[in-house]
Amino acid sequence: MSQTKQPRILIADDDHNILAALKLLLSCADYDITLASQPEQVIRLFEQESFACVLLDLNFNLDTTSGEEGLVLIEQLNTIDEAVPVIVMTGWATVELAVNAMQKGAVDFIQKPWENERVLAIVETQIRLAKQCHQAKKLDQENQLLKAENGRFEPLIAESEGMKQVLTMANQVAISDINVLIIGENGTGKSLLAEHIHEMSARSEHSLINVNMGAITETLFESEMFGHVKGAFTDARANRIGRFELAEQGSLFLDEIGNIPLSQQSKLLRVLESQQFEKVGSSKTQQADVRIIAATNANIEQFVKDGLFRQDLLYRLNTVVLELPPLRQRIDDIVPMAEHFLDKFASKYQRHGLFFSALAKTELMSYQWPGNIRELNHMVERAVVLSVDEEICLTQLALTPKNNHMVSNEQNADDYSDDLERKLDDIESDIIKQRLQHHGGNMLDVAKSLGLSRSAFYRRIDKYNL
């Protein structure tokens, strides 16, 4: 991560003695100074470089008293970047000229000859206010993004061995600054893992910005990712901060990275290689101190073979690859995860005291979960809403054997149609028999897979004469 840089100040005056004096004063106050003596030089520098503040003389070559050149420059600078404070200077100060300069967009007024303490105080104040304003705009856009995400993140649950291995590797990767590619089916929690990596990293004090690459149209790609300046195109009525700038010194999560149009991949690659970008409509180069975490449910390597994804971009993204297992391979995580969702929705709908029945837990672990964690989340919410008693049973879960994809190849799902006439004890007995066969008769493993204590499991063994 880059170190904090000195604020850069552009000083514009046609008097070289004034330029030298102000440069000495402000350099000693730890500012990085750039000098200009002509209006066209001011515009060129302002378009090409980034400044924290501008000290601008109102009079150049055309006359020495009216301030017209300076007033025109103020308007031009504000058109290019209204976020940079412009402080005007003149030796012919009048109330009318000061008011006119403020109306054109200046933030303060310094009369020559100046007092050093006043100059330093004004510069420090205006840079601080501009920074606060910029941070407020960033926060507002971040809040809008968070509202759109609508509480998507959930705590990581890792009881299964496969998930523990992923989490161990994620923790090792997090402390570095290398880019990470997370792969996995839809709904497996890729965004959750990205948040965990960010929170465990040295960048955690800064923002994690999420971008659904599949939701960004090709025409708005550059504006969304890099931002734009006012007037850059027809609908650009104000400056916009892009996702890279929002994520400065933090992390940028590029979800569904496989959906980025091929025509835009080169632009993303350029930023990753150079760590620099320009806003749409601006020639100023900005630094991109950002850690990239990308995710996809697609076979991205096959995309490369098919010419749909640039191989050099993939190499920039996949320094480390983390593969999230689907929920059907995380049997030990299913019940703890379901109980977490149960607590969440019970609180949301004021339905305290709810719990899963033993048979419900068994079926939760037997179900194939084609929609993974997202499906489990929705299913539990529906169960909470439909439940009448405190016990959540199969009726509320709607996990009938017809819906369960764990049917063996030898047994057709239609064979379960008679279950509507069977007693609950018969269904539970058959499930225990299946688990005993699956675990080779290991009682402890069967009890654990059913979410039962040893004593509760053995009571059922005795009850069904197993």
Q: What is the pLDDT of residues 328-340, one digit of tens each?
A: 999 999 999 999 9
Q: How many residues does the chain have?
A: 466
Percent of the chain with pLDDT over 90: 46
> Is residue 407 very low, low, confident or very high in pLDDT (cuts 50, 70, 90)?
very low
Q: Are residues 240 and 362 in the same domain?
A: no
Determine the pLDDT at residue 188: 93
Residues 377 and 296 in one domain: no
Mean pLDDT on 196-217: 90
Q: Considering the domain boundaries, does residue 271 fall inside one? A: yes
Residues 345 and 308 in one domain: no
Q: What is the pLDDT of residue 182?
A: 97
Range list of H helices, 275-371: 300-305, 311-317, 331-348, 358-366
Q: Is the pLDDT of residue 437 over 90?
A: no
Q: Is the pLDDT of residue 104 over 90?
A: no
Determine which of 3-12, 33-42, 125-134, 401-410 has the lowest per-residue pLDDT on average: 401-410
Model confidence at 347, pLDDT cuts 50, 70, 90, reads very high
H and E: helices and strands count for the chain = 19, 16
In this structure, what are the phi and psi dihedrals at residue 43, rounded to the nearest 5 degrees? -60, -45
Domain count, the chain: 4
CA dist., res. 359 & res. 202, Å (int): 45
Q: What is the CATH number of the domain that holds 44?
A: 3.40.50.2300
pLDDT of residue 250: 93
**pLDDT tier at 235 (50, 70, 90 boundaries)?**
confident
205 and 321 share one domain? yes
- Which residues face 57 on adjacent strands? 89
CATH number, domain of 229, equals: 3.40.50.300
- The amino acid sitting at 261 is P
- The 8-class DSSP code of residue 4 comes to P
CB atoms within 10 A of CB 200: 15
Distances in whole angstroms, Cα of residue 345 to Cα of each of 78, 108, 352, 371: 50, 54, 9, 19
Listing DSSP states for 393-413 in one string gives -HHHHT--TTT-S---TTS-G
Least confident among 316-320, 371-375, 379-383, 408-412: 408-412
Q: Are residues 240 and 284 in the same domain?
A: yes
pLDDT beyond 60 at 411 = no
Q: Quick one: tokens of 256?
A: 């569904």
Domain boundary among 325, 342, 371: 325
pLDDT of residue 412: 40
- 144 confidence band (pLDDT: 50, 70, 90): low
In a domain, 141, yes or no: no
* DSSP code of residue 344: H
Instruction: Give the pLDDT score at 346.
Output: 94
* Rg over CA atoms, the chain: 31
- pLDDT of 419 > 60? The answer is no
Pick the more confident residue, 419 or 24. Answer: 24
Kindly provide the b/e burial profile for residues 153-168, where b requires at least 16 CB atoms within 10 angstroms of the residue's own CB: bbebbbebebbeebbe
**The tokens 């929920």 sit on which residue?**
327
Which DSSP category does 86 fall into?
E
Q: Residues 278, 341: one domain?
A: no
Round to whole Å and give the CA distance between 435 and 447: 9
Q: Could you tell me if residue 154 is inside a domain?
A: no
With vertex at residue 231, the alpha carbon angle to CA 278 and CA 102, rounded to the nearest 5 degrees, is 100
Q: What is the dihedral of CA 312, 314, 318, 321, to 10 degrees?
A: -150
Look at residues 291, 325, 359 and tell me which one is the last residue of a structural domain.
Answer: 325
pLDDT band, very low/low/confident/very high, at 151 (cuts 50, 70, 90): very low
Alpha-carbon distance of 163 to 369, in angstroms, equals 16
Closest CA to 104 of 129, 79, 139: 79
399: confidence class by pLDDT, cuts 50, 70, 90: low
The pLDDT assigned to 415 comes to 43
Mean pLDDT (the chain) is: 84
**Does the pLDDT of residue 218 top 90, yes or no?**
no
What is the band of 309 on the pLDDT scale with cuts at 50, 70, 90?
very high
Question: Do residue 456 and residue 346 come from a single domain?
Answer: no
Are 457 and 431 in contact by the 8 Å Cβ rule? The answer is no
Compute the distance between CA of residue 455 and CA of residue 447 in angstroms, rounded to an integer. 9
Residue 313: inside a domain, yes or no?
yes
- Paired tokens of 202: 């040295």
Co-location of 185 and 86 in the same domain:
no
Residue span of the structural domain in which 354 resides: 328-406
Which CATH number belongs to the domain containing residue 454 in this structure?
1.10.10.60
The CATH number of residue 401's host domain is: 1.10.8.60
Distances (CA, A) of 58 to 69, 84, 148, 155, 446: 6, 17, 46, 58, 84
Beta-bridged to residue 452, according to DSSP, are none
Least confident window among 92-106, 393-407, 416-430:
393-407
* 176 and 320 share one domain: yes
User: Tell me, what's the pLDDT at 413?
Assistant: 39
| Locus of tokens 């880019």 | 179
Q: Which amino acid, residue 428?
A: E
Q: Among 85, 110, 130, where does a domain finish?
A: 130
Name which residue leads in pLDDT, 141 or 409.
Answer: 141
15's tokens: 């008097």
SS3 379: helix
Model confidence at 116: pLDDT above 80: yes
Residue 379 inside a domain? The answer is yes
Q: For residues 273 and 256, state if they share a domain.
A: yes
303 and 341 belong to one structural domain: no
Say how far apart CA 360 and CA 340 lie, in whole Å. 15
- The stretch 256-260 carries a mean pLDDT of 90
Helices (H), 200-257: 221-226, 243-246
Exposure on the CB side of residue 205, measured as CA atoms within 13 A: 2
Quote the pLDDT of residue 414. 42
